[in-house]
Amino acid sequence: MSPVHTLTAPWQGEAPTPLNPDTAFNGFICAHVLHALERLGLLGRLETEGSVEVPSFCREHQLDQAVVHALVSAAESFGYLAVSGDRVRATRTGEEVRQAIGFFTWGVGGYHDVFANAAAVARGERRFGVDLHRDEGMVALGSAQADSALMRHLLDQEISRLDFTTLVDLGAGVSERVSRLVKARPGSRGIGIDISKSATELGAETVERYGLRGTVEPVCADVLDILFNDHRVEGADEADVVMSFMFLHDLLVDPARRDQVIPRLRAAFPKANTFLLGDTTVRPRNGGDTLPVFSSGFELAHALMGVPIYTREAYEELFAKGGMHLRSAVPFGAPHTYLFVLEAA
Ligand SMILES: C[S@@+](CC[C@H](N)C(=O)[O-])C[C@H]1O[C@@H](n2cnc3c(N)ncnc32)[C@H](O)[C@@H]1O
C-alpha cells in the first residue's frame, strides 16, 4: 500500500464498543438535538458570540420557547451546553462537536428516512430511489460543512504543488470547489460536471458569486456518458488536473464496467498530469474496540442504497490495474477518507 502521510489515530475513534443500550439510545436522541440546534442557528451563534440569551434568541427567530428550552435542556444533559439562568454557552465537548457537525447534518438531516426504513428495505417493501429518498439538500450541506471543517486545507496543500491551466471536477455538485480553486489560481479555468440539473443551475450562481463567469463552466452531463459513450464536454479534454470528491464510488456501481473506469478516465482526459480522487473507504476491521464518527453511517447508508463502497486496498488495486500510478493516499480529514493523488503510469 502507499505510504500514509500522517497518523490516522483519530480514525480509530473514541466511541467504546459494545455501545450499551443506554449509550445507543441517548446517542440517537443527542444526534437529533445537535442537528436541531445547528439548523436553528444556535450553535453558530454560540460560536460567534460565546454565549446566548435563549429567550431573546427565540424572540429574534420567532421560535417556540418551550421547544427550544427542551432542546437546550437535553443538550445540557448530554454535556454539550452549560446553562446558567437564561444564558447558555458551549461546553468543551460542545465546542469540539462543531468540527464534526457536518456528519450530523449528513446523517440526521440527509439520511433519517433511509435509516428509519432499514427493515422495510430488507423486506423489499421500500426501495431507495423509488419510494425512499434521502434529503439531497442536507446531504450536500453536510458535505460542505465537513469539507470546510476537515478537508479544504488538505486539498489546498495538494493543489498548491500542481501545475494546471484547466481544472475539471467530476460530480462537482454546485461547482463550489472548482470555483474556489480557480479563483485562487489566476489564469486558470475550470469545468464542473454534474448529472444533476438543479446542482448545475446552482453552480451558475456559485460562479457568479466568485465573479468567474466565462472562466468556470458548470456543465450538466453524465460522467459515465463521457467515459463510455463518447460524450464530449467542450474543453474538458484539455484538463491538466481532474478531480472528484465523494463520487468515485458512484462511477463504479456497474460491476461489468468497474475495471474499465480508470482506463476510460485516462483516455477521456489525455492531457491530465494528475487525478485527485477523494472518497471514503470501508473502515478496516482490525478488531479495535472503538469507533469513529461517520464510518458506520456511511457504510450502512450505502448498503441500504445498494451502492457498493470499497476498502482502500480495493481502490489501490483498481488504480494499479487501470494504469494509474498512485503518488500518495492522503488521509483526507473525515474518518477513513483519502485523497488519492494519481498520475497516468
Ligand atoms: C456525494 S455528491 C458529491 C458532490 C461534491 N463533489 C462534494 O464533494 O460535495 C455526488 C455528486 O455526484 C453527482 N453524480 C452522481 N452520478 C453522476 C454521474 N453519473 N455523472 C455526473 N455526476 C454525477 C451527484 O449529482 C452529486 O452532485
Q: Is 249 in the pocket of ligand 1 (CB under 6 A)?
A: no
Q: How many CA atoms lie within 13 A of 205 on its CB side?
A: 7
- In the prediction, which pLDDT does 2 show? 53
Ligand 1 pocket, mutate which of 133, 136, 247, 261 (most atoms under 8 A from CB): 247
The CA–CA distances, whole Å, from 225 to 193, 229, 232 equal: 12, 5, 9
Q: Is 247 in the pocket of ligand 1 (CB under 6 A)?
A: yes
Query: pLDDT tens digits for the chain (345 residues)?
Result: 554 444 467 799 999 999 999 999 999 999 999 999 999 999 999 999 999 999 999 999 999 999 999 999 999 999 999 999 999 999 999 999 999 999 999 999 999 999 999 999 999 999 999 999 999 889 988 998 999 999 999 999 999 999 999 999 999 999 999 999 999 999 999 999 999 898 899 999 999 999 999 999 999 999 999 999 999 999 999 999 999 999 999 999 999 999 999 999 999 999 999 999 999 999 998 778 999 999 999 999 999 999 999 999 999 999 999 999 999 999 999 999 999 999 987
Please, which residues have CB within 8 angstroms of residue 251's CB and are 6 or more apart in sequence?
170, 223, 224, 227, 244, 261
Please, which residues have CB within 8 angstroms of residue 240's CB and are 6 or more apart in sequence?
162, 163, 164, 165, 166, 167, 271, 272, 273, 274
For ligand 1, atom 9, the nearest C-alpha belongs to 143
Residue 263 neighbours by CB distance under 10 Å: 15
For ligand 1, atom 8, the nearest C-alpha belongs to 245
% helix / strand / coil in the chain, to the nearest 5?
Answer: 50, 20, 30
Best CATH choice for the domain 9-100 from the list 1.25.40.10, 1.10.540.10, 1.10.10.10, 1.10.260.40: 1.10.10.10
Ligand 1 pocket, mutate which of 136, 147, 195, 220 (most atoms under 8 A from CB): 195
- In the prediction, which pLDDT does 6 show? 44
54 Cα to the center of ligand 1, angstroms: 39
Length of the chain measured in residues: 345
Task: Give CA–CA dist 113/110, Å, rounded.
Answer: 8
Task: Give CA–CA dist 336/277, Å, rounded.
Answer: 14
Q: In ligand 1, which atom is closest to the CA atom of 172?
A: 6
Topology classification of domain 151-344: Rossmann fold (3.40.50)
Ligand 1 pocket, mutate which of 250, 261, 298 (most atoms under 8 A from CB): 250
Q: In ligand 1, which atom is closest to the CA atom of 224?
A: 19
Domain 9-100 and domain 151-344 have a common topology: no
- In the prediction, which pLDDT does 286 show? 77
- In the prediction, which pLDDT does 5 show? 44
Please, which residues have CB within 8 angstroms of residue 101's CB and are 6 or more apart in sequence?
34, 38, 43, 145, 149
- In the prediction, which pLDDT does 1 show? 55
Site of grid cell 465537548: 93
CA nearest to 244, candidates 259, 223, 270, 273 = 223
For ligand 1, atom 1, the nearest C-alpha belongs to 246
196 Cα to the center of ligand 1, angstroms: 8
Q: Is 307 in the pocket of ligand 1 (CB under 6 A)?
A: no
Q: Cβ distance 263 to 323 under 8 Å?
A: yes
Task: Give CA–CA dist 186/270, Å, rounded.
Answer: 23
For the chain, the structural domain boundaries read 9-100, 151-344
For ligand 1, atom 13, the nearest C-alpha belongs to 171
